[in-house]
C-alpha cells in the first residue's frame, strides 16, 4: 500500500516535471522565434492578396485618360475586373454603379478594369452607354494588369484601403449589393 502511494507520488512529480519542461521550452521557442523569424509587415509586400499592398498599375481609360492606381492613394478604391461577354459581370455592373453613385461623394474610387485583350472596344462602349456607367473603365489591352493581379475568374473585385492595402478579394459574382456596401462602409470608416 505504502509502496503504491510512493509510486503514485513519483508519477505525479514526473508528470509535473515534464509539463513544466514543455512549458519552459515552449516559452523559450516563442522568444527565440520572435528574434530569429521576425514578423514581416504585409502592407510592405506587393501581392494581389488580402492583407498585401496592392500592386501598382497604370492604364488608359476608354476616353483616353491615363489612370494610375497610385494617384488614388489616400482614398478607398474598388478595382473590378470584368468583360462585356461575362454574364455575372454584366449583372453586377448596375450594383457597382449604384454604390459608386452613393459613395463617390465620400471619396470612393471605382475602377472597372476591362479585359480588353478578350473583349472589343466597340462592345465595351456600347455596354457602358447602355448601362449608364459613370466610373472610369480602364482598358487592359495586353492583359498585363489582369496577369499582375492573377485574375483567374471573372468578375474579380479588389477592395483597397486608403493605405493601399488590399482588405478583401471577391472572386466571382454578382456580389450582393449589401456586401459591396458593407465593405465600402468598412473602407470609409477606416479613412482618417
Query: What nine digits make up the cell of 170?
Result: 471577391
If one asks whether residue 47 binds other proteins (CB under 8 A), the answer comes out as yes
Please state the closest distance from residue 65 (CB atom) to other proteins, in A: 31
**Cβ–Cβ < 8 Å for 66, 145:** no
Q: Using N-to-C axis directions, what is the helix angle for 87-103 and 177-189, rounded to 10°?
A: 40
If one asks whether residue 37 binds other proteins (CB under 8 A), the answer comes out as yes
Please identify, among the stretches 36-44, 60-68, 120-128, 130-138, the one whose residues bind other proteins according to the rule CB under 8 A. 36-44
Please state the closest distance from residue 157 (CB atom) to other proteins, in A: 10
**Cβ–Cβ < 8 Å for 135, 61:** no
Q: Using N-to-C axis directions, what is the helix angle for 121-131 and 87-103, rounded to 10°?
A: 50
Please identify, among the stretches 14-22, 69-77, 117-125, 138-146, the one whose residues bind other proteins according to the rule CB under 8 A. 14-22
158 vs 88: CA distance, rounded Å: 16
Q: Could you identify the residue written with the cell 461577354?
A: 85
CB atoms within 10 A of CB 110: 24
38 vs 192, beta carbon nearer other proteins: 38
Site string for other proteins, 130-169 (x = CB under 8 A): ----------------------xx----------------
Rule CB under 8 A: which of 70-99 touch other proteins?
none
33 vs 142, beta carbon nearer other proteins: 33
Residues near 46 by beta carbon (within 8 Å), at least 6 away in sequence:
52, 53, 54, 55, 56
Among positions 67, 73, 131, 186, the unique one binding other proteins when judged by CB under 8 A: 186
If one asks whether residue 117 binds other proteins (CB under 8 A), the answer comes out as no
Q: How many residues does the chain have?
A: 192
Query: What nine digits make up the cell of 35?
Result: 528574434
The number of residues that bind other proteins (CB under 8 A) is 41
Residues of this chain that interact with other proteins (CB under 8 A) are 8, 11-12, 15-16, 19, 22-23, 26-27, 29-34, 37-40, 42, 45-47, 49, 51-52, 152-153, 170-172, 175-179, 181-182, 185-186
Amino acid at each position: 500500500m505504502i509502496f503504491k502511494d510512493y509510486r503514485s507520488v513519483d508519477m505525479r512529480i514526473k508528470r509535473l516535471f515534464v509539463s513544466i519542461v514543455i512549458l519552459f521550452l515552449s516559452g523559450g521557442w516563442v522568444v527565440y522565434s520572435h528574434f530569429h523569424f521576425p514578423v514581416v509587415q504585409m502592407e510592405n509586400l506587393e501581392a494581389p492578396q488580402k492583407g498585401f499592398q496592392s500592386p501598382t498599375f497604370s492604364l488608359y481609360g476608354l476616353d483616353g485618360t491615363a489612370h494610375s492606381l497610385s494617384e488614388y492613394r489616400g482614398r478607398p478604391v474598388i478595382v473590378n475586373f470584368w468583360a462585356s461577354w461575362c454574364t455575372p459581370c454584366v449583372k453586377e455592373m448596375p450594383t457597382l454603379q449604384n454604390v459608386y453613385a452613393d459613395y463617390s461623394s465620400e471619396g470612393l474610387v471605382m475602377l472597372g478594369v476591362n479585359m480588353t485583350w478578350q473583349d472589343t472596344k466597340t462592345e465595351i462602349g456600347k455596354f457602358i452607354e447602355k448601362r449608364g456607367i459613370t466610373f472610369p473603365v480602364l482598358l487592359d489591352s495586353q492583359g498585363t494588369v489582369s496577369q499582375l493581379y492573377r485574375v483567374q475568374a471573372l468578375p474579380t473585385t479588389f477592395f483597397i484601403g486608403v493605405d493601399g492595402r488590399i482588405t478583401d478579394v471577391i472572386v466571382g459574382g454578382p456580389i450582393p449589393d449589401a456586401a459591396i456596401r458593407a465593405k465600402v462602409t468598412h473602407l470609409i470608416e477606416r479613412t482618417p
